[in-house]
Structure 1
């Protein structure tokens, strides 16, 4: 492992995803290194499309259009899979982790499709459409992470995808106003119509009470996916199961905070404190033990089906 590459990936996660960074420390060293490398590529792609650095807007001399940036990401991603030397750390990271764990190119391309949906400015008429976006930006990352942890069984991969969907639904609820200020709305348009909310005025403070009801609905929709993910834990190595159970607890807690905060949910970014994270890491161990002694129910048929 190239030390400089690992240092780059470690810094990227520490700054870009404090929620997952805490749980990722529980992975066995080799798994943690691969998780860091995969995250570095995902974060880089997101930043390139949005003209950001680690999720923060930055001054840039890049004159390319978002479409050109997206095309560049796809070219470099495909090139990484050929084994060609990669100068950019993010693509070198992808190359290393994809080769080590036989991650299919299609999964990487499926992830890029999520950014393409943003670039195209897609709308989401129904929840099914929102979940399709969730799959591309997060569910497919769950699939790739599961492969890093050695999972190949399709039924377990389904549960990994479900956890990614739950994470993204939580993120959407937390970031509704922030996304709106960036000109994006992932909420089902039919929900907004039912709540009497103008989708072009999501950031308007006068809409917060109605928006809180929609956010609570989104958090509730995440619950069956969080529940489904539990059934995948026994198939993971023990330390990986602990890390994933802890990440599940941290993200789910954020959703609960958004729901409980009501109209004040977007007065500040909802997050878990260091003490709360510590408690959820401890609780994650108990979740893993319980899952290993429980009989896993079948995956509910009403959940969104991932592409095969």
Structure 2
């Protein structure tokens, strides 16, 4: 068991999300206390792993290439994260607050170990400087760094059926596609690129020139293409909220609305999308949270069809069910 007190772990997790993700922090307040506790603790672990591999603290210094670790140091840190994850699942005492929090939430909500290791594999893709030739390759990366987080969050919310897991993963994919569009230039300045190489060639943008001003107009078209590619995944995720308890549905629908709006802002700004970090105002967030509440309520009576077959599907997923309608959790009284 953890050597940390529950209160200190929750305080640490709350501070982590408030600094690391203001967009999701707002939506997270809508969960019931037990679910919110689990979500915050999971976020703290994800943020910690990301920071350890990148040599950061709560995402600070991301844009400073000189602050990054060497690949050898990053690989060593990643191996330590894998070992700590193994120890957490084995029930060994955890001194690190992020891992103590993860151990608690993983055991309490039966988060499958393969999800945690799949997430760490996403950081390995960054460390190994994997190149992405097609949009399917980019989506594979999105699965590891965000889609699988959706699967772990679904476990916290009590959702374990395959159809709901597919929708949870879709939301993570959409979030990450939005993040990539928003951060294209910032990522390029530290040598990272998640845009499909085939798209860059079509646009006439050399990979090592992505951050240059002269390519802004062409880059804006690629960002818009990425935002458009996220739309069917956002739609699929919306169909999945009927499977969740009402307050969880409200939180997830609100998070979906906020992140989707960030993509809309990026697309609307065009070539000026990266003059400042795209986001949403407090007033807009409040409106999107209210809209999320309405969507959560209407989902109680909505009927959803099968997930579109053309969407990219997470690795290891069981064959999709052929029937539509409400998901099993909702039918059970969510």
TM class, shorter-chain normalised?
Answer: over 0.9
Q: Which residue does 1:50 correspond to in 2?
A: 54
Q: Does 1:4 align with 2:8?
A: yes
Tell me the TM-score normalized by structure 2: 0.90
Q: Which residue does 2:236 correspond to in 1?
A: 228
Q: Does 1:151 align with 2:155?
A: no
Q: Does 1:39 align with 2:47?
A: no
Q: Please give the per-residue CA displacement for 1:33-83, whole angstroms capped at 9, x wherever unaligned.
A: 000000000000000000000001299898871110110110111111100
Q: Which residue does 1:89 correspond to in 2?
A: 97
Q: Does 1:22 align with 2:22?
A: no
Q: 1:88: Cα distance to partner?
A: 0.3
8 Å contact kept, 2:246–2:297: no
SS of the residue 1:231 aligns to: helix
Q: Does 1:252 align with 2:256?
A: no
**How far apart in 2 are the matches of 1:231 and 1:253?**
18
SS of the residue 1:304 aligns to: coil
8 Å contact kept, 2:242–2:302: no
Give aligned pairs, total: 308
- Of 255-264 and 228-237, the range deviating more from structure 2: 228-237
Structure-to-structure mapping, 1:127-276, within 5 angstroms = 127-276=135-284
Structure-to-structure mapping, 1:72-83, within 5 angstroms = 72-83=80-91
Q: Does 1:287 align with 2:291?
A: no
4+ aligned runs moved over 4 Å, structure 1: 58-64
**How far apart in 2 are the matches of 1:135 and 1:67?**
20
Q: In structure 1, list runs of 5 or more residues that go unmatched.
A: none
**How far apart in 2 are the matches of 1:61 and 1:190?**
28
Q: Please give the per-residue CA displacement for 1:247-304, whole angstroms capped at 9, x wherever unaligned.
A: 0000000000000000000000000111110000000011112222222021000101
8 Å contact kept, 2:54–2:69: no
Q: 1:213: Cα distance to partner?
A: 0.1
Q: Please give the per-residue CA displacement for 1:114-134, whole angstroms capped at 9, x wherever unaligned.
A: 000000000000000000000
**How far apart in 1 are the matches of 2:129 and 2:200?**
17
**How far apart in 1 are the matches of 2:254 and 2:79?**
36
The one of 296, 301, 304 equivalent to 2:309 is 301
Q: Give the 3 Å change call, closer, same or farther, for CA 61–261 of structure 1 in structure 2.
A: closer
Q: Please give the per-residue CA displacement for 1:140-174, whole angstroms capped at 9, x wherever unaligned.
A: 00000000000011001000000000000000000
Q: Does 1:107 align with 2:111?
A: no
Q: 1:28: Cα distance to partner?
A: 0.1
Q: In structure 2, list runs of 5 or more residues that go unmatched.
A: 317-334
Tell me the TM-score normalized by structure 1: 0.98
Q: How well do the aligned residues superpose, as a CA RMSD in angstroms? A: 1.5
**How far apart in 2 are the matches of 1:287 and 1:200?**
43
